[in-house]
Amino acid sequence: MSKVLYITAHPHDETASYSIMVGKAFIESYKKSNPQDEVIHLDLYKEDIPQIDADIFSGWGKLQSGDELSAEEQRKVHRLGELSDQFISADKYIFVTPMWNFSFPPVMKAYIDSVAVAGKAFRYTAEGPVGLLTDKKAFHIQACGGIYSEGPAAGMEMGNRYLKNVMQFFGVPSFDSIFVEGHAAMPDKAEEIKEKAIARAEDAAQSF
């Protein structure tokens, strides 16, 4: 039995979001193929995802010095620990994000900051950092108004590329993606783009 984290970063549901609609098709197909697996939905717009701020820095400092943390420092540092423990305890990750200004919404970056913990996701060695999550798999579904998987704007794409690099840094050996892309650039093809992406997601989920 695998533990699957279905991580979505969108304020809307599938009725108003291409990425969530395709993500939903993926996870429903995955559940059908893997009914024994545990699937946990982390909706980053509903979860408490602390940003690394002054409380967290001072909390980390106090943990080192042995001083007592304030209630707020304690709460935030504890929550980061919960998120990173949950992340490393999972076997598979499915990230679902819209493209906003060439990348993903800021809460996704805050989430990555909460799980990128030395000693958990990677460790430092004399030869440089080494990823520790070598038995995991990751999948990313991203919706964009324009085309970024190829062509002149490909170099501007920084959401999928960032996640791919981070997963590689964590040692995750498998990273696949679906771009639901071009509906704003080609509105007459929007329905076809959506349907094709849903079909690809349903198919990819069966072997994920």
Residues that bind ligand FMN (CB under 6 A): 10, 17-20, 98-102, 143-146, 184
C-alpha distances in angstroms, 121 versus 69, 113, 133? 25, 11, 6
Least distance in angstroms from the C-beta of 202 to ligand FMN: 17
In this complex, which beta carbon is closest to ligand FMN, that of residue 122 or of residue 139?
139
* Among candidate residues 187, 146, 197, 184, the one with its CA nearest the CA of residue 21: 197
Residues in the chain: 208
Least distance in angstroms from the C-beta of 123 to ligand FMN: 35
As a whole number of angstroms, the distance between CA 49 and CA 139 comes to: 21
In this complex, which beta carbon is closest to ligand FMN, that of residue 65 or of residue 101?
101
Q: Which helix (H) or strand (E) holds 5?
A: strand 3-8
In this complex, which beta carbon is closest to ligand FMN, that of residue 116 or of residue 186?
186
Least distance in angstroms from the C-beta of 172 to ligand FMN: 23
Least distance in angstroms from the C-beta of 104 to ligand FMN: 10
As a whole number of angstroms, the distance between CA 164 and CA 140 comes to: 9
Least distance in angstroms from the C-beta of 22 to ligand FMN: 8
What tokens does 40 get?
A: 């946990």
CB 87 within 8 A of CB 104: no
Q: What are phi and psi of 111, to 5 degrees?
A: -65, -45
In this complex, which beta carbon is closest to ligand FMN, that of residue 17 or of residue 29?
17
In this complex, which beta carbon is closest to ligand FMN, that of residue 22 or of residue 115?
22
CB 99 within 8 A of CB 148: yes
Give the CB-nearest residue to ligand FMN: 98
